[in-house]
Amino acid sequence: MREGQMRALPVAAWLLVLGSSLVTGCSWLPDRTLVYRDAETAERMEVPEGMHFVGFQDSYPIPDAEDRVAPSGERFRAPSPPQLAILGRLGEDADAAQSEDPGRLTAIMGRDGNGYPILMLSTQFVWAWEYVGQALGRTDLNIEDRNRESGIYYIRVPSSYGLSERQAQIKLSHTVNGIQVAVLNQRGTTLVQQAPGQAILERLYNEL
């Protein structure tokens, strides 16, 4: 037993030294918390001729980024999150947010990679849904049903648009460039023909 204990002693001593190093903050791994400051910024993509881009929108901006960079040689420390404010009356801020003006809507007619017409709206989905619904109400494209959760307006299309089917879907989708509006067939399985789709979106575009 004594020989076994003597052989185990170096291992126990090694674990004790390793644990002490971790507790005291010593490490064999280099401190790379500030390496991000050496990263290069890539140039923004150029939009090909004949195509449009609604604009860049930072999904996760860093507030006061310049003030949060630690001085050279110091370890980076993550800033504390902002504190939540307690409302005086439940729902007061929510009502105020709904009454805010969403601002001027930017609508751009364009085409996807396959040449099919699309409509791009530079606003949030909640406003795009309202804008499109109101614009459809000012056209001869009658709304038969709607599904806000799926972003679909079910419409009846007059024969003057040249669509083989009398029903179609106006589909709103989230993209990195904004809200995309496209015209799908009655079943929602594919885009309608290019000519009728262009005519429908142009009619909608003129009312936005």
Quick check: is 175 in a domain? yes
Quick check: is 121 in a domain? yes
Q: What is the pLDDT of residue 194?
A: 93
- For the stretch 10-32, pLDDT in tens is 655 555 555 555 555 555 677 77
Quick check: is 51 in a domain? no
Q: Which residues contact 141 (CB under 8 A, 6 or more apart)?
A: 155, 156, 157, 158, 170, 200, 203, 204
Asked if the model's pLDDT at residue 35 lies above 70, the reply is yes
Backbone phi and psi for residue 158, each to the nearest 5 degrees, phi listed first: -60, 155
Asked if the model's pLDDT at residue 186 lies above 50, the reply is yes
- For the stretch 88-140, pLDDT in tens is 333 334 344 344 455 568 899 998 888 899 999 999 899 999 999 999 999 99
Q: What is the pLDDT of residue 50?
A: 65
DSSP annotation of 108: E
Alpha carbon 147 to chain centroid distance?
Answer: 21
* 112 vs 187 pLDDT, higher one: 187
Cα(132)–Cα(145) distance, rounded to whole angstroms?
14
Quick check: is 64 in a domain? no
Quick check: is 50 in a domain? no
Asked if the model's pLDDT at residue 40 lies above 70, the reply is yes
Dihedral of alpha carbons 200, 201, 205, 207, sign: positive
Alpha carbon 22 to chain centroid distance?
Answer: 40
CATH of the domain at 197: 3.30.310.170
Q: What is the pLDDT of residue 72?
A: 53
- For the stretch 134-172, pLDDT in tens is 999 999 999 999 999 999 999 999 999 999 999 999 999
Quick check: is 19 in a domain? no
- Please give the biggest Cα pair distance in the chain: 100
Confidence class for position 199, pLDDT limits 50, 70, 90: very high
- Domain coverage including residue 199: 106-207
Quick check: is 161 in a domain? yes
* 37 vs 150 pLDDT, higher one: 150
Strand 117-121 versus strand 178-184 pairing type: antiparallel
Neighbours of 161 (CB within 10 A): 19
Number of domains in the chain: 1
Contact 183/170 with Cβ under 8 angstroms? yes
Quick check: is 170 in a domain? yes
Residue burial 57-82, b: 16+ Cβ < 10 Å; e: rest? eeeeeeeeeeeeeeeeeeeeeeeeee
Q: Give the position of tokens 């439940």.
A: 90
Cα(186)–Cα(177) distance, rounded to whole angstroms?
26
